[in-house]
Chain A
């Protein structure tokens, strides 16, 4: 049996073994994956980076626990970026099952800021969490008039006017941009009602499954950036120099994909070499 033939008849259990090893290694060996974030992801990052301390930004955490793996890392990295830049961050959620989770995210990142940046953003002064209200389309429209229409109080029941950072903040005119992290069609409403009617500067983070549907909005300029799936999340963490769970997951993905691709290449090489060898033996006959 020649080398080719042996390769072509390779027992699939070798594939399984190699894949297992290369999925386990990155869990223990931490190394930086060289990522090259595409323009649509860099656009989001640069937009936030270019804001001045004290500018207002609205981050809408419109995903439910089902999309946690892909969108939570973006939320974490982005919130930390905003806090570190001393922006005033308004957060809310348009997903019914995501209210609790979003609140925890907003608070946890504020806590971790103390460790990494030496200060702790103060609720009501540096950030506010408005909570959840039903009918996303109406909420988005209402906020275009006045935040107080859909959200008379924040998540804890404090009226918006008694929250220091919300004084004088009326509607989208007072904030620099909106970033919606969503796993579904809430993004469509943000485009139609937020950007379409009030000209809000808008960017999205979407799950891997949904992201392809929203690229046309990026191409037409209705949104200024888009972060897609686990890969986008890892790229965002990379830009923020803040590697988290998405980077970890990406390490495994890169290894696993590389294994599959290498096996495909080996298979094809063996196939071609084998065919050439066969052709040669036929010629010599």
Chain B
């Protein structure tokens, strides 16, 4: 049996199951209208077909997955265009550009907006479209330059506080929590999670961790000697974190799978 015949038989089986499911689902519909029942029966069956098609990718790439993928990408692109049209063109642009257009789309016209300024981005936008004309395509770089320049300017200063200054200033943590001398500390030492020992240990780990982590990120110094040891500790701290985050995420991902399995066995096969 060639793979082509096998594929044909498989497609026939899938089509058959699809039909049976459509009929069964239409028959068990809740609505009074026959049309709604038949439609909903089709939609549920189609959703199941797509779900199984995507899962089939785990076995290997196949025409069903390719179909679902192309459909998904096409629909997403179309959805995004429509969404962009209604939210950005109609939402942002029309109310400031023209009164008659605003009336046409039933959006409130903004009287006070600076109507001349709105033409600057339009000019930049049109310049961007010169890409489609090979002769003057290089003009589109002006628009790209505006976007890159503006976003670089925004990024130059705006994340400094959250990413750098706050992080540095939050690292001033007490390294000796409730310190009453060595004797007191040794007498009361315990491994209880709320104990002084654990609190001090935790703060030291944070302190040393931040230091060594930073050392690891030094580019212009050879990681040798004490510097090398620190950067080694830094990478260990990073790995503990990565491992822990990975292990912690497993639970959430399994929940997603359970959701899909409940859909297949519950909403479709009704055996839950």
Chain A contacts with B in 190-238, Cβ cutoff 8 A: 208, 219-220, 229-230
Chain A 50-85 interface mask (CB, 8 Å, partner B; 1/0): 000000000000000000010000000000000000
In the bound complex, do residue A23 and residue B258 qualify as a contact, i.e. CB atoms below 8 Å apart? yes
In the bound complex, do residue A208 and residue B261 qualify as a contact, i.e. CB atoms below 8 Å apart? no
In the bound complex, do residue B193 and residue A219 qualify as a contact, i.e. CB atoms below 8 Å apart? yes
Residue B162 interfacial (CB < 8 Å): no
Chain A 242-267 interface mask (CB, 8 Å, partner B; 1/0): 00000001001100110010000000
In the bound complex, do residue A208 and residue B272 qualify as a contact, i.e. CB atoms below 8 Å apart? no
Quick one: given A23-B258, A24-B261, are A230 and B59 in contact (CB under 8 Å)?
Answer: no
Quick one: given A23-B261, A24-B261, are A253 and B251 in contact (CB under 8 Å)?
Answer: yes
* A24 vs B266: C-alpha distance when bound (angstroms): 12
Chain B 221-250 interface mask (CB, 8 Å, partner A; 1/0): 000000000000000000000000000001
In the bound complex, do residue A252 and residue B194 qualify as a contact, i.e. CB atoms below 8 Å apart? no
Partner of A16, one of B58, B250, B254, B255: B58
In the bound complex, do residue A208 and residue B251 qualify as a contact, i.e. CB atoms below 8 Å apart? yes
In the bound complex, do residue A257 and residue B261 qualify as a contact, i.e. CB atoms below 8 Å apart? no
Residue A35 interfacial (CB < 8 Å): no
Chain B 254-265 interface mask (CB, 8 Å, partner A; 1/0): 110110011001
Min C-beta distance of A235 to chain B, whole Å: 14
Q: B residues within 8 A CB of A167? A: none
Chain A interface residue bracket vs B: 10 to 19
In the bound complex, do residue B254 and residue A256 qualify as a contact, i.e. CB atoms below 8 Å apart? yes
* A24 vs B251: C-alpha distance when bound (angstroms): 16
Dominant secondary structure of chain A at its interface with chain B: helix
Q: A residues within 8 A CB of B262? A: 27
* A220 vs B261: C-alpha distance when bound (angstroms): 42
Chain A 110-133 interface mask (CB, 8 Å, partner B; 1/0): 000000000000000000000000
* A255 vs B64: C-alpha distance when bound (angstroms): 30
In the bound complex, do residue B257 and residue A13 qualify as a contact, i.e. CB atoms below 8 Å apart? no
* A252 vs B260: C-alpha distance when bound (angstroms): 13
In the bound complex, do residue A13 and residue B193 qualify as a contact, i.e. CB atoms below 8 Å apart? no
Min C-beta distance of A19 to chain B, whole Å: 8
In the bound complex, do residue A13 and residue B58 qualify as a contact, i.e. CB atoms below 8 Å apart? yes
In the bound complex, do residue B58 and residue A27 qualify as a contact, i.e. CB atoms below 8 Å apart? no
* A125 vs B125: C-alpha distance when bound (angstroms): 67
Q: A residues within 8 A CB of B261? A: 23-24, 27
* A219 vs B252: C-alpha distance when bound (angstroms): 27
In the bound complex, do residue A220 and residue B194 qualify as a contact, i.e. CB atoms below 8 Å apart? yes
A209's nearest neighbour on chain B, judged by CB, is: B252
B260's nearest neighbour on chain A, judged by CB, is: A23
* A13 vs B228: C-alpha distance when bound (angstroms): 41
* A230 vs B255: C-alpha distance when bound (angstroms): 10
* A104 vs B258: C-alpha distance when bound (angstroms): 25
Min C-beta distance of B244 to chain A, whole Å: 11
Partner of B194, one of A219, A249, A256, A257: A219
Q: A residues within 8 A CB of B194? A: 219-220
Quick one: given A27-B262, A27-B272, A220-B194, are A13 and B59 in contact (CB under 8 Å)?
Answer: yes
Chain A contacts with B in 21-40, Cβ cutoff 8 A: 23-24, 27
Partner of B254, one of A24, A27, A229, A252: A252
Chain B 125-167 interface mask (CB, 8 Å, partner A; 1/0): 0000000000000000000000000000000000000000000
Quick one: given A219-B193, A220-B194, A249-B258, are A27 and B251 in contact (CB under 8 Å)?
Answer: no
A residues neighboring B (CB under 8 Å): 13, 16, 23-24, 27, 69, 208, 219-220, 229-230, 249, 252-253, 256-257, 260
Q: Could you name 15 residue pairs across A and B whose Cβ atoms are closer than 8 Å?
A: A13-B58, A23-B254, A23-B261, A24-B261, A27-B261, A69-B255, A219-B193, A229-B251, A252-B254, A256-B250, A256-B257, A257-B250, A257-B251, A257-B254, A260-B250
B residues neighboring A (CB under 8 Å): 58-59, 193-194, 250-252, 254-255, 257-258, 261-262, 265, 272
Known: A27-B258, A220-B194, A257-B251. 13 other contacts (CB 8 A): A13-B58, A13-B59, A23-B261, A24-B261, A24-B265, A27-B261, A27-B265, A27-B272, A230-B255, A249-B255, A252-B258, A253-B255, A256-B254
